[in-house]
Structures are given as structure tokens and as C-alpha cells.
Structure 1
Amino acid sequence: MPPRWWQRQEIIPCQLPVALKSYLKLNQTDSKEISIASGVIIDESAGEVLIGSGTRICHGAVIQGPAIIGANCLVGNYVFIRPGTMLGNNVRVGFATEIKNALIESETVIGPQCFISDSVIDREVYIGAQVRTSNHRLDHSAIHVHINGEHINTGLEKLGCYIGPRTRIGVQVIILPGRYIMADTLVGPRITIEHNLKKGKYILKQEILQTEGEK
């Protein structure tokens, strides 16, 4: 897990390193390489939107800058991408999903009707339908995270989660603010993640959250 994963630099497309621009194959001006369906809204009133080669954006999608979408991505129908979002290469986002101020690394799949906010999703993650990353406390207090036994006040009123590489999240999972899930973890459907999860397989059995192998 990256140290202090919640501390991300603001996305400023014009200030991206050349190496990152090359990796993402950002090529907004070449209409032959990018497919944008009718009815798509790209709003650059608050910042630039950059789109990589080979990316397809489907009907009804709304993208608000500043935002970056890498190469060969699929942004599904009626997806809402809000400011501060960056998608790596080969990311697929399903119908009516909303993503806000999140870093989504390459090769990740996000299912339909999800809400991903103020979060970091690492490489090759699979997120099933209707997953929610809760990003604020009901009492509006700053969000704390727990790392290596340390209790850290992030000072942030809004913070989602970190999901490690190759993790798979089942449908209708809810992740509470400031939690992290380690790499290569499997989380079954309809689980509410109230604590950080170490690598493992987590499933609901008779309404009790258990790690595979527990009895």
C-alpha cells in the first residue's frame, strides 16, 4: 500500500510529466483515435479534460474537468466523471457509475451503478455492480486512517478508500471512509467494510463476516 495514499497532488492536465502523457497516450485532437458518442457532455469550465487514444465514451456520459482518461478505456452510458479524476489505460467503467476525485489505475474494471469517490483504486482491480465508497462521516468530523498501528488524522472531511492491486469486490459492497483493502483480496457480495482488510477471502455466512477457512 502506498504510504499516505490519501495525499494526492491536484490534477492539472497541462502540468503532467511527459512520460505520463506518453504512457496514457493522451491524444485528444485525433478524432480517428477517440470515439465520443452523441449526447456526451465534456465540461471544461473548471479544468481541461484529456482523453487517450483508442478510448470510447458512450452516449449520455458526462465528464467534468480537470480529468484525465487514459488510452483504450471504455466509459459506459450515463457515466458521470467529476473533477479530479484520473483513469489509467484499459479501464472499463459500467453504466451510470459516478466517479469523483479518484485515481483509477490501469486494467481496472468498475461495474454499473457504482459510486467511487476520493479514493485510490490500484491496478487490475475488479469492482462489481452497485459498490459504494462512502467518503464522509455523518458528524462531519475529519476522517482518520489506521496504518501499521498508527492512528492518523488526515484532516480531510471527505476521503474514500484504498483498494490494492488485483483485488475483487462483489456486488453491493459498501466501504466506509478511510479504509484500505490489501492486494489480492476477494470480498464477497453485500459486505459492509468497517475495518481495514488484510489479504484474504471474505464472505458473508449467516449474516456473519468470515474469512475463508473459519468455522
Structure 2
Amino acid sequence: MQAIILAGGKGEGLLPYTEKYQKETISILGNLIISYSIKGLKKAGINDFIIVTSEKGKSKIEEEIEKLNVSFEIIIQKREGINGAIKDGLERASGSNVVLAFGDIVAPEDFYVSLVNTHLTTGADYVIPLVPVSEGVNTYGLAKIEKDKIEIVKTGSTLALAGAYIIRNEMFDDFLEYLNTRKEMLKYFVWSEKWIDIGYPEDLINAIEMLLDEKKSIISEKAEISKTAIIGKGVIIDDYAVIDDYAVIKGPAYIGKEVFVGNFSLIRDATSIERGAKIGAYCELTHTLVEPEAEIGSKSYLSYTVVGEKAKIGASVISSSFPARVVRGKVNKLGALISPEAEIRHGEILKPGTKI
């Protein structure tokens, strides 16, 4: 069976970050977002992928997937919208059934295993997972269940389609209407465990928290850690990272390959610092994502903030946060969203919700 991964959306909730960078190419814990769906489907036995993306996402996605030891084809989305992307993928797919998955979902691999197993054990041509959500959340559509009968709706339910499906390999005009025409044949399961749809900056922070949850400390022998540094529990430090004198890494946290953390800095509470990023001296980062090769000047404080690839943050920059949305019963905080290659001057104070 083949899988079609949709990774060409505009990423409107992450603008202006996504003007030049595809959302699915954001890195979390050393992996692009799209990797999490591919790895999950690979564990479920799927090894043949069609990736529908944009020109701005193609090269990074291709480089990433080549590391995953799967067969794949990348195509550029030609038709507009989600329905158009699905049609573009189906035109290249083979076989009677396909897995259709969105590349911006971060979930445990067992989520995808459950999807494929439901298909294999029931023989159903149409399988959809459902996730409990807050009223009104309908990224991929909502579903009502009454006496084991399912109906796809736009409002009035707290069960959302979870962004991964098994469907017949056939064309249609509108995906959600298509599912409704097949509702008598749909099999579903409710996924009540961890699941994040990456749509907004705060979703990225939640994904870090989810992925680091209950992980044991892993310290690479190739990392260079000062004898005076303090490394707490639940910390992952990757190859060739450098932790300078008296720095404190308090888990859960991820320090990526070739990252530098300056002396007396504090990295804590669901923070992920990606490959080659540099953190100056006397900084404090909490609930923050720092993308590859970004630089944070000394004495800066960042909270619930996303720093884009190759961005440069001056010294003594402050980014605080405030409560934003409530998703699946959790209050999400929002700091700043700093786009790739952006530059922030020394001493800037970024108000909560700042987008640069």
C-alpha cells in the first residue's frame, strides 16, 4: 500500500514564518515535522510514499526523507487547496487503497499503526481516526457518531477527523462530501492519546512537550560538556553539542547536533534547540523552539517563543508570553514568532503575540 503525504499548504496560522518556508520543514527534536508521520507509517508497514508539497518545501523534504530508508516520490502541488492536493497525489498512486495523511500531524507511531491495523483486521476500504477536540475545532472536518453510525459535519461535534485516512484510490470533487457518501462503509476508531495538529506557534511548543514527555536522558559521548555544567533529568544532548561553563540544562529539553550553549545560560521546560544554533552567555530559554543555525545573543530571555532558521537575536532581548487558545482542555501560551533569517536588535522587548 502507498501513502500520500500532503505537505504543500500555505500554513496561514504560522505567517509570516511560512512565507518562504514550508511548515512541514520546521525541525523539532532534530526531525522535520513531516518525518513524524512518515516514521509512524513506516512502523505500520508502509514503505512507499508520494509527497505532495510546494517548491519552497521540496529540497528540504527530499533531503530529510532520503535518511528514512523508504521509497518516495515528491510532486509539486498543481491544483488549489486540500482537495486539489489530494487529487494531485491520487493521480500518481497505484493500488486499490491508499493511506492519505497530512504532514503536519505530530503523534505517536502507534497512532498510524492503529490506522493500518484497523484496515487489515476489518478489511474496510475506508478507515478514519477521530480525536476529541474543543467545540468548534474543525481543521480536517468533524464527525458525529450516533448508534455506531458516522456522519461528517462542519459544526456541532467535538470529534475531529485526525488527518490520516485509508480510502479507495478513486477521484472525487470534495473530500469531506466524498467521505459522507461512503459513510455506511466507514470504519473508525477514537484516538484519545497524544496528538497535535501543527497550525499555530503554540502547537510547536506543545509538540516539543509531547515528544519529550517521559523520555530518559540521552547524552552523546561526542558532546562536549563542561565539568561545571549541570544537566538535569529528561535531557537529550546530541552529537558535537558544546555546553559551556556553569550552564544549566533542566529537562525536559533537547540540545541538537553542533549546538553551542554559552556559560551560565539556563535551558529548561520543553525547549528544543536545533542543529547548529548558538545560545550566548547568561541566557534563559523556557518553552522555546530555536531552529537550525539561529543565534541568540547573551543575556536574552525567551518564553514560549519560536525562533526561525538562521535568525539572529541580539543581546538582552526579552520575549514574554500570555495565554492564547484553549485546545483539548489545555491553555496554550504565546510568546513571539520570529521568522527565518529575521534580525532582532539588541535590547528589544517583544510583546506577547509578536510576529516578525
What amino acid is aligned across from residue 239 of structure 2 in structure 1? Answer: S
Are residue 38 (structure 1) and residue 237 (structure 2) matched? no
CA contact (8 A) 1:12 1:66 kept: no
Partners in 2 of 1:94 and 1:109 — Cα distance?
Answer: 8
Can you give the 5+ residue segments of structure 2 that lack an aligned partner in the other structure? Answer: 1-14, 16-22, 24-198
TM alignment of 1:57-76, pairs within 5 A = 57-76=243-262
The equivalent position to 2:290 in structure 1, one of 73, 83, 104, is 104
Measure, in 2, the Cα distance between the counterparts of 1:85 and 1:60: 18
**1:37/1:29 Cα in 2 relative to 1: closer, same or farther (>3 Å)?**
same
Q: Which amino acid aligns with 1:165?
A: P
What amino acid is the match of 2:226? A
In the other structure, the counterpart of 1:12 is: 211
- 2:283 is the counterpart of 1:124: no
SS in structure 2 at match of 1:77:
coil
CA distance in 2, matches of 1:121, 1:11: 19
User: Partner letter of residue 354 of structure 2?
Assistant: R
Q: Offset of 1:14 from its aligned partner? A: 7.5
Give the helix-richer structure, 1 or 2: 2
Q: CA deviation at 1:72?
A: 0.6
* CA drift at 1:38: 1.6
Q: Which segments of 5 or more consecutive residues in structure 1 lack a partner in the other structure?
A: 17-25, 137-141, 144-153, 182-215
- Report 1:131-142 matches (<5 A): 131-136=317-322, 142=323
Moved over 4 A (4+): none
Mapped partners of 1:11, 1:127: distance in 2: 27
1 or 2 for the larger relative contact order (CA 8 Å, sep ≥6)?
A: 2
Q: Give the match for residue 77 of structure 1.
A: 263
* Cα-Cα RMSD: 2.1
Q: Which residue of 1 aligns with 2:339?
A: 164
Distance in 1 separating the partners of 2:348 and 2:210: 28
Residue aligning to 1:191: none
Once the two structures are superposed, residues 47-74 of structure 1 have per-residue CA deviations (whole angstroms, 9 ceiling, x without a partner) of x111111111001101111110100111
Distance 2:281 2:306 in 1: 20
Residues 29 and 125 of structure 1, relative CA distance in 2, 3 Å threshold: closer
1:50 to 2:236 alignment: yes
Amino acid at match of 1:168: E
2:86 counterpart residue number = none
- Percent sequence identity over aligned pairs: 30
Question: Residues 69 and 116 (structure 1 numbering): CA distance in 2 closer, same or farther, change over 3 Å?
Answer: same
Q: Secondary structure at the match of 2:272?
A: strand
Which deviations, in whole Å up to 9, do the C-alpha atoms of 1:15-74 show, x marking residues without a partner? Answer: 99xxxxxxxxx97242xx111002111111xxx111111111001101111110100111
- Alpha-carbon shift at residue 110 of structure 1 (Å): 0.3
The residue identity in structure 2 corresponding to 1:38 is K
Distance 1:108 1:95 in 2: 15
Cα distance, 1:11 vs structure 2: 4.1
Does the aligned pair in 2 maintain the 1:118–1:135 contact within 8 Å? Answer: yes
Inter-partner Cα distance in structure 1 for 2:213 and 2:297: 30
C-alpha distance in 1 between matches for 2:336 and 2:289: 11
Q: CA deviation at 1:159?
A: 2.0
Amino acid at match of 2:245: H
Contact 2:220 2:237 in 1 (8 A): no
Distance 1:106 1:173 in 2: 22
> How far off is 1:160 after superposition?
0.6
2:292 is paired with a residue whose SS is coil
Per the TM alignment, residue 157 of structure 1 is displaced from its structure 2 partner at its CA by 6.6
CA contact (8 A) 1:11 1:66 kept: no
